Amino acid sequence: MTTAIAGFDYQRVTVAEGVALNVAVGGSGSPVVLLHGFPQTHLMWRHVAADLAAEHTVICPDLRGYGASDKPAARGEDTYAKRTMAADVVALARALGHDRFALAGHDRGALVAVRAGLDHPDAVTHLVSLDVLPTLDMWDVLHGSSASVAFHLYLMAQPPGLPERMIAASADAFFGHFLDAWGGDPAAMPADVRAEYLRASREAVDSIVADYRASAGIDVAHDRADRDAGRRLTMPVTVIQQDWGAALGYDAEAVWRAWAPDLEHRTTTAGHFLAESAPDEVVAALRALLKR
């Protein structure tokens, strides 16, 4: 079974009190950190990471609460706040010898990347977001029956107890639904990789729910405070996403430009898991961004 990125070295790095991240590191050169999405692990970057490693030091962690990284119990709403998870990423890069780095995130990892860019502009030199909106805007664009596409956001936003029990009772069916419904080319996610995502997710139900619950509470508060204060992403930003704006009735590029003045925004037909279904597209976008 594929459980590692070929040719990469693995280690555990302590990033906060009682929290260590599982991280794969490969290549040499200027650093690029890649953050995975839901319901996945760092393995989603296996093609992109191998390509970028020819000219960059590529750092692929499992986020706190996911994969083989530590999964602290949510003792407060900040345990899985994107601000906390972003601080993990900055601490990880520094522990590996990098005070400044380019950062790319997919899905949940993109939310962490955006928060890192807002909170740590001196550390993040370039930023890529794959197929997500900033947290505050994500909730704002969901209206009426069209919001059913994001039913999981509402389920996992509920108080602790019921969501965890419901998901744990049928974990493979729950997480597998998203792998199937959001996928493009089935061949892009081989059976052994899919099985690894399901295994990792079923062993992390509580922390995954806590991550999502934070995005219905403290993450919204942090985004709103930044919007009210006029804070923006000061580094060059590239966004690649499906044409959700057309599907849900909003201007996706305008939403992003409000946060990122130095923006390249593009849509893709490669599906949600584009780092696996269209890795060349993602690598090309990253390389172009790093030249800006």
- Say which of 62, 107, 211, 219 is annotated catalytic: 107
The β-bridge partners of 264 are: 238
Q: Is 105 part of a structural domain of the chain? A: yes
Task: Establish whether the linkage from the previous residue to 39 is cis, with ω within 30° of 0.
Answer: yes
- Say which of 126, 222, 265, 272 is annotated catalytic: 272
Q: Which residues of 123-158 are buried (b: 16+ CB within 10 A; e: fewer)?
A: bbbbbbbbbbbbbbbbbebbeeeeeeeeebbeebbe
pLDDT at 143: 85
Mean pLDDT of the region 72-86: 96
Q: Is 225 part of a structural domain of the chain? A: yes
Q: Is 272 a catalytic residue?
A: yes
**How far apart are the C-alpha atoms of 126 and 291, rounded to whole Å?**
10
**How far apart are the C-alpha atoms of 19 and 210, rounded to whole Å?**
15
Q: Is 120 a catalytic residue?
A: no
Tell me the pairing of strands 30-35 and 56-61. Answer: parallel
Domain region containing 25:
8-290
**How far apart are the C-alpha atoms of 65 and 211, rounded to whole Å?**
8
Mean pLDDT of the region 140-144: 88
Polymer length in residues for the chain: 292
Evaluate if residue 189 carries a pLDDT over 90. yes
Q: What are phi and psi of 211, to 5 degrees?
A: -60, -50
Q: Is 34 part of a structural domain of the chain? A: yes
Q: Is 1 part of a structural domain of the chain? A: no
Q: Is 2 part of a structural domain of the chain? A: no
Domain of 188: which CATH number?
3.40.50.1820
Q: Is the alpha carbon torsion for 180, 34, 264, 80 positive or negative?
A: positive
Over residues 238-248, the pLDDT tens digits come to: 999 999 888 77
pLDDT-derived band at 1, boundaries 50, 70, 90 = low
- Based on the structure, what is the number of domains in the chain? 1
pLDDT at 58: 98
Q: Is 45 part of a structural domain of the chain? A: yes
Over residues 17-64, the pLDDT tens digits come to: 999 999 999 999 999 999 999 999 999 999 999 999 999 999 999 999
Question: Which of 5-9, 68-72, 96-100, 140-144 is predicted with the least confidence, judged by mean pLDDT?
Answer: 140-144
Over residues 87-104, the pLDDT tens digits come to: 999 999 999 999 999 999
Measured between alpha carbons, how far is residue 119 from residues 84, 93, 135 in Å?
10, 15, 15
The β-bridge partners of 33 are: 59, 103
